[in-house]
Amino acid sequence: MGIYGAINSAVSGLAAQATALENISGNVANSQTTGYKRLDTTFSDLVSGGGSVQAQQVSGTTFATSRATNTVQGDITSVDVDTYMAINGDGYFVVTKASDVVDGSTTFADETYYTRGGDFERDKEGYLINASGYYLQGFPLDPDTGNAIGDNPTVIQIENQPLAASATTTVEYQANLPRVPDTTDYDGSDEDTALLDAGVGVGNIANADEQDFLDSSISGGSITIYNENGTAMNVEVRYAKRLNEDAGVPQNDTWSMYIGTGGDATDAWYDVGDIEFSSTGVMGTLTAGGMTGTAVNGTSDGFTITALTIGGTTANNVEFSFANGSLTQFSDPDGTASSVSLDQDGYPAGELTGVAVDDAGRVVASYSNNQQRAVYQIPLATFEAEQNLQRVDGAAFAATASSGDADLSGGGQILAKKLELSNADIADEFSKLIITQQAYSANSRIVTSADEMLDDALNMVR
């Protein structure tokens, strides 16, 4: 069996090196494929029967098997596409394939696949699909709580639907009012001349008294708020000081807050309420004012105006919040309200302008009203034995009995605007190619030599 055994071993070596060459070829071809995992080749020997004595044993044949490198991460590179992403660490994106188009809408197969190829882009129907044709799956997020809905991911779709308007409910207000306001009426020497003109009276400011009011008050800033239909309303705020602290009389510095009516037929400014300040400039008691036609509730942190109407447009209840001591009274050299900041929580309706993925693994929709909404959470699938996943087209995998079922509760970190490159390195593959070529040539030489020796043996009897 010596010569025939040599030929058999050499032929098995040729077959094994051919398998290695096939894997090397595929790795080189996919060296630029996003998320591709190369296949290495492992060689094993098959021992021919030669007895139990070492001296009688001979080397046998060989066979080659492919070894997955699913756990070997490729390099991560930055890209300028908002929906591209990479995984740093363990895990796979959960994807599926389209099965058909029915009435112009895509339907999907029941099979689930897994990939590291994160080059997803939004198609005309709003689905996120990568270059290999796989559709990304995720968990819808509750718009109120931000928590994932359901236990099974669904195909992610962000349709071109507008974001509905949201009425303003709270205006967070911050400002410092000067101890002595520099009003038009203030003469620079008598602080009482900076107080609200006595002829203006209390309650709303009538149109006839507006100029006197403006001359004895200071601006407190302005902000645009929205009603439930998304209609914009410009809110102007002014402050007028009513009382100065008096050591002989038990009274604190007291200001009145006003909001412009926006062109009311009778009144020019609403009287929201009075605000007292201690001698140290800290906000104290708030007292609701005398707004005509609507109710004002004063709390320790602000005023809530019921059905605020400006310029003929009515909003819902709006709270002007001075929480955490955001309204103070300290000396100001200019005599104006300083550090003024107004933020509100309403917005008009908006059209979809973009879709992106953030580093928390959420799909975020952006709208023309400067609002953003996280609409899906992207899960990462991990496996007990990911090396046993079945490779399918498009740098993707399918679960097998050997790999175990997908676990969607963990995984690595999703990196936004990144891509994981192929883990096949051309330089390494070329090195393996040279070794494979040499081994293949050596095995072919053995076949040739064995054939020549066999011819010599046959010629001995001629």
Are the C-beta atoms of residues 162 and 339 closer than 8 Å to each other? Answer: no
Per-residue pLDDT at 340? 96
Name which of 252, 259, 224, 254 is nearest 238 in CA terms. Answer: 259
CA distance 217 to 260: 13
Contacts of 47 (CB under 8 A, 6+ apart): 57, 59, 60
Per-residue pLDDT at 59? 66
Give, for all 462 residues of the chain, the pLDDT tens digit. Answer: 577 777 888 788 788 888 889 999 998 999 999 999 998 988 888 766 655 555 555 667 888 888 889 999 999 999 999 999 999 999 999 999 999 999 889 999 999 999 999 999 999 999 999 999 999 999 999 998 999 999 999 999 999 999 999 999 999 999 999 999 999 999 888 888 889 887 787 789 999 999 999 999 999 999 999 999 999 999 999 999 988 876 556 578 999 999 999 887 788 999 999 999 998 999 998 988 877 656 677 778 899 998 888 998 999 899 999 999 899 999 999 999 999 999 999 999 999 999 999 999 999 999 999 999 999 999 999 999 999 999 999 999 999 999 999 999 999 999 999 999 999 999 999 999 999 889 888 888 888 887 778 777 778 766
CA distance 127 to 120: 9
Q: How many helices (H) and strands (E) does the chain have?
A: 3, 34
Which of the listed CATH numbers 2.60.98.20, 2.60.40.10, 3.30.450.20, 3.30.1330.40 matches domain 170-344? 2.60.98.20
Q: Any idea what DSSP says for residue 361?
A: S
Per-residue pLDDT at 418? 97
pLDDT tens track for 4-58: 777 888 788 788 888 889 999 998 999 999 999 998 988 888 766 655 555 555 6
Partners of 407 in the beta sheet?
382
CA distance 347 to 164: 9
Q: Please, where are the H alpha helices in 79-180?
A: none
Measured CA to CA in angstroms, residue 281 lies from 55, 219, 321, 336, 399 at distances of 102, 19, 18, 15, 68
- The number of beta carbons lying within 10 Å of the beta carbon of residue 116 is 24
Could you tell me how far CA 56 lies from the centroid of its own chain?
68
Are the C-beta atoms of residues 365 and 350 closer than 8 Å to each other? Answer: no
pLDDT tens track for 403-424: 999 999 999 999 999 999 999 9
Angle at 223 between CA 222 and CA 225, to 5 degrees: 145
Contacts 24+ apart (CB under 8 A), 208-211: 209/268, 210/268, 210/269
CA distance 87 to 96: 18
Name which of 140, 139, 128 is nearest 96 in CA terms. Answer: 128
Partners of 218 in the beta sheet?
239
Q: Any idea what DSSP says for residue 269?
A: E
HEC per residue, 40-106: EEEEEEECCCCCCCHHHCCCCEEEEEEEECCCCCCCEEECCCCCEEEEECCCEEEEECEEEEECCEE
Element (H, E) at 429: helix 426-459
